[in-house]
Amino acid sequence: MDVSSRVERALRAALDPMCAPGAPPRLAAAVYHSVFPAGARIRPQLCLRVAMACGEDVPGLADGVAAAVELMHCASLVHDDLPCFDAALTRRGQPSTHRAFGEPLAVLAGDQLLTLAFEVLARASAAAPLRLGKLVTTVGRGVGMPYGIIAGQGWESEPSIPATLYRRAKTGALFEAAAVGGAVAAGADAEEAEAWRGFGQRIGEAYQIADDMLDVLSNAASAGKPVGRDAALGRPNAASDLGLGASTHLFEQLVDAAILSIPDCPGREDLARWATQVVERIRRRAHVAVSQGAQAEQPEV
């Protein structure tokens, strides 16, 4: 089974128990709407690729960790899209959850996804219970205060936003959790697993810079969500803050550093190849956006 199919199967398995008889059906539907159809699923793929590179020994455990990380990402999107934050009307090419189901069910869908992620870790760890503590703290660190995605979002309510801390918390932290969590799932001890943090962080930061460039350059139809939001909402954006040339340079530096930082492991080469392919896809998207942006700057004829 390919990695994408493993991710989708793990997510469906995670959501299934929620729909027992006696559960409120509209909330269940809002949760499904928040997770499917698939976005890029880059975080769970990173998690599974690291677990595969380390040599998985407990079937299903890495799938659970990958699903948990993606559920956390989906939770953050649903809440970030709310009217009190980004007021986004679309997400992944469909109406955002609050637009499709109303604000109360969107708040609850996010809460449910956060809770479910930890339950999924516990379920998946049944065959390797001594790994659960490190998995919960790894995912918790990527999500919560002081440095996780909730902290990243929290910076948007401060009088000034420190760009590097913000970017690392809002995006990097969950990528770190995906990489470290993948290693823990495959049996790495705490020290070995922490060696993966740098890889996750650099991939995450490169991804955020590419996303910033897309926010500045693309159009909403190709991105599947509103664009130009950072400027509209007064948030740090690498492409606007550094300029397009410098942010492209930073992106390439981060990618090189990420691949060099992959720890020694049985599947190092496969993982480097996968990371190179992902980066190539990101580059292509950015180039398309740049050429569209350049076109948009031409006077209409």
Contacts to a copy of itself by CB under 8 A = 17-20, 22-28, 31, 75, 79, 82, 84-85, 101-105, 107-108, 110-112, 114-116, 118-119, 121-123, 125-126, 129-130, 132-133, 136-137, 140-141, 143-148, 150-151, 153-158, 165
Min separation Cβ 186 and a copy of itself, Å: 18
* Closest CB to a copy of itself among residues 121, 210: 121
* Closest CB to a copy of itself among residues 105, 214: 105
Q: Among candidates 45, 7, 63, which has minimal Cα distance to 278?
A: 45
**Signed CA dihedral, 290, 295, 296, 299: sign only:** positive
> Got the DSSP string for 9-46?
HHHHHHHGGGG-TTS-HHHHHHHHHHH-S----HHHHH
* Closest CB to a copy of itself among residues 7, 121: 121
Min separation Cβ 98 and a copy of itself, Å: 9
* Closest CB to a copy of itself among residues 124, 271: 124
Min separation Cβ 82 and a copy of itself, Å: 7
* Closest CB to a copy of itself among residues 82, 244: 82
Min separation Cβ 44 and a copy of itself, Å: 18
Locus of tokens 């942006």: 293
Min separation Cβ 154 and a copy of itself, Å: 3
Longest dimension (CA), the chain: 66
Helices (H), the chain: 3-15, 25-35, 42-54, 61-80, 97-101, 103-124, 132-143, 149-155, 163-167, 173-185, 190-194, 197-217, 220-223, 229-233, 238-242, 244-260, 268-297
